[in-house]
Chains A and B, each alone.
Chain A
Amino acid sequence: MDRKRDYYEDVQIFTSGTIVFWSGVLILLLSIFPFIAKNYYVYVANFMAINVIVVVGLNILVGYTGQISMGHAGFFAIGAYGTIALMTHAHFPFLLALPCAGLVAALLGFLLGLPALRLEGPYLAIATLGFGITATQIIGKIKMFGERQGLHAPDLTIGSWHIETDKDFYFILIPITFFLVLVARNIIKTKVGRAFISIRDADIAASTMGVNLTLYKTLAFAVSAFYAGVGGGLYAFVLRFIEPELFSMFMSVMFLTMVVVGGLGSIMGSVAGACLLGFLDLQLRNILEIPYVGDWIRALSESYFTLTGVSNIQLIVFGLILIIIMLFEPLGIFGIWIRFKKYWMTWPF
């Protein structure tokens, strides 16, 4: 049912009227959301949106080009620090500083892509992981970046609009997210995107077909680093305070997890994975507040475990969710969606 019959069908943005309709509904819902939800949930939504940007970018590298990166927190940090530094020291306006910081991250992504040309699998994983750890170590030594004591984000003004609350920032963040997701979707449908996919599927075959491996592999790194950098720049203004320890290895692992749980090689899967895991990451601490469940966990802790360590149930639930999704469907949430759709469309057969 999802077969494509001609080229134009493949490159069009909306494949059917249904999608146009639901996209409209989504945009409408997103624009009224901050007016009906509590401010805290707007903050959560901002966080999820940033995760979406980074994860969509990372999926271009991991899901479409078949390279692993466990060091994206490094690019994220470079974007965050770069944006603040450009704004405070070079007096760039925010909307210019953000892509510039993204470009700096992209440049570093390109450089990291060079050794990555020869590596794959666990070798690439550990090399990128090393990059992520080293990047934050180096940032922690730079005086301009506040060393280990962290850095506060400057006041944010766009034109005459002074951005103070989460709600204000939401209206900047969501359009940027939409734009970047759309760009990612379109990159995949260009010559470049097809080159990425061909590298993932068979790099040697791709190179014999005339795909320049050096160019496209480093390009994939650069593009995904750009996304991470832009995400980092926005993150700095959601949190308004950054310090090197924030951008830990755990954060890189989290991004990778979101990509895989969302679904490799699916932009919409990445959006879903970033939203779900980002939400859980912030919200799981409230698990003990859920009626009945919380009491039951507390009682269990008192008899068999420790009450002082009961918060660690978050980790267990998070791990469990990861395992269940991955065991059930190697393509993650996207895979589950496909299955669901098939089931729906072929019902009752």
Chain B
Amino acid sequence: MKKYLVYVLTFMTVVVLGLAFNAAAEEGITDTEIHIGQWGPQTGPAAPWGAVARGTDAYFKMINEEGGIHGRKLVHHYFDDGYNPAKTMGGVKQLQEDIGMFAWVSGVGTAPGLAVKDYLMDRKIPWIGPSAGSRHWIEPPNKYLFNTYPLYLGDAQLLCKYAVETLGFKNIAIAYQNDDYGKQGLEGAQKQLAKSGLKLVAEIPVNVADVDMKPHIMKFRNSEAEAVLLFVGPGHVARLQGTGKAMQFEPQWMTSTTCGDIPLMMAITKGGYAGTILASFGMMDPTAVGIGNIEDVNASTHPVLKKYHEEAFKKFAAKEERWGLTFAAGMGYVEPMIEALKNCGRDLTREKLVAEMEKIKDFQGIMGKVSFAPFKANDPSCRIGQTTVFLAQATADAKAKVLTDWVKTEYIPMGK
């Protein structure tokens, strides 16, 4: 028994001490390095979004291989927060105070982001491209926070507009995830339909933990919805579409940008996703592809995306990593920052980065056009970044048929 005791105590001591003293002391920016931080869930129920951080990581490695930025390499520190704001806060504090980040990029989720927003903004640390289309990032606008993800509000507007004006539907319903993301989709849809004098025929909340979708489908069926907007996660899209099909309820499904990974969606719905109309923020250029034409997302013709696939994904991603929307989005969110860093030149400061970010006009990488403007305290549009989205439709062979060109969406201020 005493032997066990010694083993247990030694084991615990090693773990505890090992965790306590592993911090290195470095500067946020040196002659050869730029330290960039990022959080993202690698564990827990939100772990599928962890690919964002890994995408950014591969992208930075690619840039370093190309010679870095004005002689400096990007050092990417990303950590797992398990989508738990308390852990996000802990990790951000540790990296910021122990190592010192020059800037923060992306970061999955509204709640973790909101938890650390004030901390970063109070310290005037730039934070670029939060990985969630929430209105909270730009209302009120912050000088150091640059949004690049098109707002969920915009997705919902465009989808509703298309359903009403092009497809001629009158009965539109929505399934929304019971959180900030879903609520903003709901609001966008309500506002857009009100313009045509319509109302959502059913507004059904989906809790993140819900598994059984039969009651939801019954409500939709009773509302005689012709189109159903899905502002839920990919798993719930699969469950809703599967249950719908089994109950012979097959409206025009429409999903937000969050569920726009067509190959993934086709795989998990076993083909049920075909025909779904999805809002998308990038990974192909609808202008180049042309309306009505079909693009294979896996063998993209987008020149920049093709390069990232070859140079970043194939070289630096783990062997079991999937080349998909989430991974690529991790690159897309930070492209404007890389552009600004390049424009900053050798003499790099945070203020200069902000100034260069503000100069970005109609920059286009693998997402839509991104523009910022000099900071105005009461004008969210100076930090909104990308305001355009386009619609595509999933085909039966997991490709995307382009339905619209980039469409500029209107910003709906909070509480109006």
Contacts and interface: CB of A to CB of B under 8 A. Distances in A.
Interface stretch (B68-76, B80-88, B335-343, B402-410): B80-88
Contacts of B11: 324
B379 interface: no
B43 A245 contact: no
Contacts of B9: 336
A179 interface: no
Interface string A233-264: 00000011101011000000000000000000
Given A40-B98, A286-B22, A307-B319, A279 B16 contact: yes
A134 interface: no
Contact of B178 (A140, A241, A314): A140
Interface in A36-86: 38-41, 43-44, 47
Most chain A CB neighbours (cut-off 10 Å) among B86, B183, B208: B86
B321 interface: yes
A245 B183 contact: no
A349 to B, nearest CB: 13
A127 interface: no
A309 to B, nearest CB: 7
A336 B5 contact: yes
Interface in B1-30: 1-2, 4-5, 8-9, 11-12, 15-16, 18-20, 22-23
B54 A308 contact: yes
B97 A39 contact: yes
Contact of A150 (B51, B90, B94, B111): B111
Interface residues of A, number: 54
Contact of B91 (A285, A339, A340): A285
Nearest to B117: A241
A39 B79 CA distance: 18
Contacts of B194: none
Interface stretch (A168-176, A196-204, A209-217, A287-295): A287-295
A339 B9 CA distance: 12
Contacts of B22: 286, 289-291
Contacts of A147: 183
Contact of B19 (A283, A302, A336): A283
Contacts of B97: 38-40
Interface in B82-127: 82, 84-87, 89-91, 93-94, 97-98, 110-111, 114-115, 118
B233 to A, nearest CB: 13
B246 interface: no
B351 interface: no
Given A245-B208, A308-B50, A324-B8, A39 B321 contact: no
Interface of B: 1-2, 4-5, 8-9, 11-12, 15-16, 18-20, 22-23, 42-43, 47, 50-51, 54, 79-82, 84-87, 89-91, 93-94, 97-98, 110-111, 114-115, 118, 136, 178-180, 182-183, 207-208, 318-321
Given A149-B180, A308-B318, 17 more contacts: A38-B98, A39-B93, A40-B93, A47-B90, A147-B183, A148-B179, A149-B136, A240-B115, A241-B115, A245-B179, A279-B16, A286-B22, A287-B15, A291-B22, A312-B42, A336-B9, A343-B5
